[in-house]
Amino acid sequence: MSATYKAVEVTSPGQFTAVERPLIDPGPGQVRIRVEACGVCHSDAATVLGQFPGLTYPRVPGHEIVGRIDAIGPNVTRFQIGQRVGVGFFGGEDGTCEPCRRGDPTQCLHPIIPGITTDGGYAEVVIAEARAAAIIPEELTPAEAAPLLCAGVTTFNALRNAGLRSGDLVAIQGIGGLGHLGVQFASRMGFHTVAIGRGADKANLAAELGAHEYIDGAAEDPVAALQRLGGARAILCTAPSGKAMGELMGGLGVRGKLIIVGVADDPIEVSTLSVVFGARSITGSLVGTSIDEEDTLAFSVLQDVRPMIETMPLARAAEAYARMMSGAPRFRMVLLTGQ
């Protein structure tokens, strides 16, 4: 086995550098993973652009990691050498802060985040906390599984934890990297699924993904269209526009929820009347733990949910990141180490 591995690290804001790093052994509670695929997520911008508080360089980005364990640290009993696992945005919790002690580890005040607080998956090898590793079903290829560990669990958890019932009218704002998975999950969970996009050209795609209705926001008012359908029980907001999210508040039915999973640069503005009269609410949802990721993967296999992806070799990581940021892919970029 080689004593080194290839990685692509960010050495300063916007600067990618291909390097050879020495192979190290995992510490207590950790596993070493030979990476097969790593998704390129918009959240990687926090590392590439130096946006995360306290970030230090050099740092290897990437938090949608799939590979096989090739070394196990002390005190790890759950995994075996050669087992296929994945690690998402939630890379571990401190276990001592108040959210952790109250059983809410994804809201940990000092989380481990691959690619941000520790080196991530733009590499042939990554060291990960064993408690954050999810078992990958053999029915999924590495490239298919990688985006499900972030975009997948984000939309899956947001919908299944929203207190919805089968048949409820659920709208998905945006048909992009998050939204195209949200539409699939919503329809396969048994909701009356409405996709909201811009342009008549997206109608066929929405139907292929499982949407029962498509609202073209460029041709009609989504709020009026939703109210004609009876008002949404929930609207999953995936497109990063605070203005667009706020405008959808009026499309909710009584006690409807605006669920935010897309992170926007601009604020959300809503009328207090629309909140108070109708008891509507706004809530956020953030990824999930390793067991949530395993639930997402299992449901995806059961109901044939798959991300739409483009792949590039690890050596072209900078190009893949730039393409993702441009919004050009349909819909997720994935780096493969075997190419």
Q: Could you report the per-residue pLDDT of 209-226, keeping only the tens digit for each?
A: 999 999 999 999 999 999
Q: Are strands 213-216 and 332-336 parallel, antiparallel or unpaired?
A: unpaired
Q: What is the pLDDT of residue 141?
A: 97
Q: Would you list the DSSP string of 313-333?
A: EGGGHHHHHHHHHHT-SSSEE
Contact 91, 113 (CB under 8 A): yes
What pLDDT is recorded for position 329?
Answer: 84
pLDDT digits (tens, 9 = 90+) for 100-157: 999 999 999 999 999 999 999 999 999 999 999 999 999 999 999 999 999 999 999 9
Residue 274 — very low, low, confident or very high, per pLDDT cuts 50/70/90?
confident
Please check the confidence at residue 318 and state whether its pLDDT lies above 90. Answer: yes
Count of alpha carbons within 13 Å of 241, Cβ hemisphere only? 10
- Give the pLDDT score at 108: 96
Residue-averaged pLDDT of the chain: 95
Would the pLDDT of 339 be above 80? no
Span 4-150+288-336: which CATH code? 3.90.180.10
Q: How much is the average pLDDT of 268-278?
A: 90
Q: Indicate the CATH number of 162-284 among 3.30.465.10, 3.40.50.2300, 3.40.50.720, 3.30.499.10.
A: 3.40.50.720
Longest dimension (CA), the chain: 65
Domain boundaries, the chain: 4-150+288-336, 162-284
- pLDDT for 334 beyond 80: yes
pLDDT band at 330 (very low <50, low <70, confident <90, very high): confident
Higher-pLDDT residue of 127 and 264 is 127
Please give the model's pTM, rounded to 2 decimal places. Answer: 0.95
- Once rounded to an integer, what is the mean pLDDT over residues 275-282? 93
Query: pLDDT class for 2, splitting at 50, 70, 90?
Result: confident
Residue 1 has pLDDT above 80, yes or no: no
Beta-sheet strand order (sheet of 232-237): 213-216, 192-197, 169-173, 232-237, 252-260, 281-284
Average pLDDT of the segment spanning 264-292: 92
Greater model confidence, 264 or 172: 172
